[in-house]
Amino acid sequence: MARYIRVWGAYIWAIRSLALMLCAIHIVAGQPGFAAEPKFPQPSSRVVDEAALLSAPAKERITGWLEAFERASKRQVVVVTVKDLQGYPIEDFGYRLGRAWGIGEKGRNTGAILLVAPKERTVRIEVGYGLEGELTDAISRAIIEQNILPAFKDGNYEQGIVNGTAAILKVLGWKGDTPGVMRDAPQSAQELPPIPLLIFIILFVIFRFGRSGFFGGRHGRGVWGSRSRGGFSGGGGSFGGGGATGRW
C-alpha cells in the first residue's frame, strides 16, 4: 500500500508540475514577444500614409526632404501613419516595424521612424541604435511635445507631421531648406521639464532592457529580424526601443 501511495504521489507531483509549466507557457505566450507579428504596411516609399493624414503636396514635400537627407548622410528617416496599432503598444509596434523594414544602414543602424496612429491618438519617434547618441530619448520627447502635439491637438495632423519631420532632420544635422514649418528643435535635455531621477531610471530600465534576449531586444535581431519587401527598401538597420512617445 505504501508503495502505491508513493507511486501515485509521484504521478500527482508530475501532473501538477506539468500543469504549472503549461500555465507559465500560456502566460508567456500572451506577451508581445510571442504574439503574432503585426501586419505592417508595405514600405513603398519613405512616407507611407496608411491613415491618409497627408495631402499629396505635403507627402511629396516630405519625401523630397527624406530622399535628400539620405543622399547626403547615408541615413534613413521614414514617416509612417497607420490605421491602427492592432492592439500593440506603439513602442512595440514601432521597433518591430523598424526591424521588419530594416530602416537604416546595416551594421550602423542609422535609421529613425516618425510613427503616427491617429485612432489611438498616439505618436512615436523610433530611433535606431546608431542614432541614439544624437536623437536621444529626451530630444525625441521634446520634438513631440513642442513641434508635433500642438498641431495634433488642433486637429492639424499634416502640419504636425511636417513640423516633426523637419525637427528630426535638423537635430540629425541636415542643412536642407525647411522654411517656416517649425520652431528650433531642442538641443539638450535641459529644455525639458524636470523629472525625478529615480522615476527616469526606472522607466529607462523598463523600456531599455525589458525587450532583451529572445524577444528581440538590444542585442541582435531576435525573432523579429526578417525584413519586409516592397518598393522602398531599408538598408538592413535594427532598432531596440530608443525614442519617445506622445499622446493627445
Tell me the pLDDT of the chain averaged across its residues. 75
CA-closest candidate to residue 96, choices 228, 229, 248 = 228
Helix pair 56-73, 157-171: axis angle to 10 deg: 10
Size of the chain in residues: 248
> CA 76 to CA 109: how far, in whole Å?
9
Residue 97, class by beta-carbon neighbours within 10 Å (0-12 exposed, 13-18 middle, 19+ buried)?
A: buried
Question: Looking at residues 8-14, what average pLDDT do you find?
Answer: 51
Place of cell 531599408: 234
Question: Looking at residues 95-122, what average pLDDT do you find?
Answer: 92
Look at 111 and 181; give whichever has higher pLDDT: 111
> CA 85 to CA 161: how far, in whole Å?
18
> CA 181 to CA 162: how far, in whole Å?
7
- Order of strands across the sheet with 122-128? 47-49, 76-81, 111-117, 122-128, 239-247
In tens, the pLDDT along 12-62 reads 545 555 444 544 444 444 444 445 678 999 888 999 999 999 999 999 999
Instruction: Please state the pTM of the whole predicted model.
Output: 0.68
- What lies within 8 Å, CB to CB, of 196 at 6+ separation is none
Can you give the pLDDT at residue 20? 45
Amino acid at 150: P
CA dihedral 57, 58, 60, 64 (to 10 degrees): 130
pLDDT at 131 over 80: yes
Helices (H) and strands (E) in the chain, counts: 7, 5
Can you give the pLDDT at residue 220? 36
